[in-house]
Amino acid sequence: MTDRHDRILTSSGFSVSPESPIHADNPVPTPRASPPDIVRCASMELVVTDLAASRRFYVDVLDLVVTEEDEQTVHLRSMEEFIHHNLVLRQGPVAAVAAFSYRVRTPEDLDKAVAFYTELGCRTERRAEGWTKGVGDSVRVIDPLGFPYEFFHDVEHVERLAWRYDLHTPGALVRLDHFNQVTPDVPRAVNFMQSLGFRVTEDIQDDDGVVYAAWMRRKPTVHDTAMTGGDGPRMHHVAFATHEKHNILAICDKLGALRRSDCIERGPGRHGVSNAFYLYLRDPDGHRVEIYTQDYYTGDPDNPVVTWDVHDNQRRDWWGNPVVPSWYTEASLVLDLDGNPQPVVARTDESEMAVTIGADGFSYTRPEAGSEPPPEHEQGEYKLGHQL
């Protein structure tokens, strides 16, 4: 771990560290068992309360490809995917996330997953026939943070439609990019994910060392998942990638044409964290979906870890556009292995929204104004807010 005093301030306003700058005061014990070798985030299983409405959103609006469906489920994939699905919609009584699913390198990594989580005292359940269509032998666990994680290697291959431009639409989604999880204690969560083999790429902190969010990766992008500080365990969003920025704008344009613009929650914009271009949507159940493009390569072993000041109002939107409060406060429930919602534990650390928006919080556009609330006309975070 890099001490904060060893961080180097860059000309872009954030700092970089050679290693993760996050320390957990209350860590999950690190198992002696080796973790499974996780290749990438691969799919999410979403419980939806109106399958027809969700299908319209994901298939007719977002143009994901239906690999297979029946009356209770729809299995969807992105245009460049060759495994059976990246998203499963399952009809159910309560909108929630049933699984964050990761692909592991070998079948034997399932044994490792069972051993790893069993040593931690977590409930695990392995099904040789898989938990969803298209996937074989797989393990589901409730991890120490309360999230339902799935691991699988065996999966049905389907045709990669990357070259099928006759099927691409203006907003074509080409890959599942990442998950984002809400958890009360970010350092504890990061520490646990590190024991699972994840590496930190970016985080948001304040001068007191409070960590508001952190991004972690297996594949060499900015993240396979992120931990956002808040009441949890909850699912903040699942993100799909497009090739270019205009694809994301086209999704907005289409939503306008369909008079469904109210499902645009935030954006489009440029993230500070990740440097990616983004858009946040809410599906008919309120599940949040990010559309995302153009972060950067992180695969080197000494990839510099980026730390943003929580008061930097370009950290969440590089253009300083305000973050809507719902984006901070709302998230999806997650389920236990019996399909019951996990209880939500309140965050006790500082709230990013509270410290950056409104009368008590502040943000700055330029670093020289960082030590105190800036003059009102410079309060980029309040571009909209302070006028209402």
The residue among 185 and 202 lying less far from a second copy, judged by its C-beta, is: 202
Shortest gap between Cβ of 120 and a second copy (angstroms)?
A: 26
**What part of residues 165-224 is at the interface with a second copy (CB under 8 A)?**
165-170, 172, 174-175, 219-220
88 strand-pairing partners: 45, 75
List the one residue out of 194, 145, 271 whose CA is nearest residue 19. 194
Angle at the Cα of 112 (from 106 to 113), degrees rounded to 5? Answer: 95
Per rule CB under 8 A, is residue 270 in the interface with a second copy?
Answer: yes
Number of residues that bind a second copy (CB under 8 A): 88
Per rule CB under 8 A, is residue 105 in the interface with a second copy?
Answer: yes
The SS3 assignment for 324 reads coil
The residue among 40 and 133 lying less far from a second copy, judged by its C-beta, is: 40
**DSSP codes, 81-146:** --BS-SEEEEE-SS-EEEEEEEEESSTHHHHHHHHHHHHTT--EEEETT-SSTTB-SEEEEE-TTS
Shortest gap between Cβ of 29 and a second copy (angstroms)?
A: 27
Shortest gap between Cβ of 268 and a second copy (angstroms)?
A: 8
List the one residue out of 153, 106, 105, 148 whose CA is nearest residue 128. 153
Shortest gap between Cβ of 89 and a second copy (angstroms)?
A: 21
Per rule CB under 8 A, is residue 49 in the interface with a second copy?
Answer: no
Shortest gap between Cβ of 103 and a second copy (angstroms)?
A: 6
List the one residue out of 355, 326, 331 whose CA is nearest residue 345. 331
Shortest gap between Cβ of 119 and a second copy (angstroms)?
A: 25
Per rule CB under 8 A, is residue 72 in the interface with a second copy?
Answer: no
CA dist., res. 169 & res. 165, Å (int): 8
Per rule CB under 8 A, is residue 367 in the interface with a second copy?
Answer: yes
**Residue whose structure tokens are 């090739």:** 243
Per rule CB under 8 A, is residue 94 in the interface with a second copy?
Answer: no
Shortest gap between Cβ of 230 and a second copy (angstroms)?
A: 16
The residue among 143 and 295 lying less far from a second copy, judged by its C-beta, is: 295
CA dist 251 to 121, 133, 238, Å? 44, 29, 16
List the one residue out of 377, 319, 330 whose CA is nearest residue 353. 330
Q: Which stretch binds a second copy (CB under 8 A): 77-85, 127-135, 143-151, 340-348?
A: 77-85
**What part of residues 305-344 is at the interface with a second copy (CB under 8 A)?**
313-314, 318-322, 324-326
Residue from 94, 260, 344, 373 touching a second copy (CB under 8 A): that is 260
CA dist., res. 270 & res. 265, Å (int): 15
The residue among 72 and 261 lying less far from a second copy, judged by its C-beta, is: 261
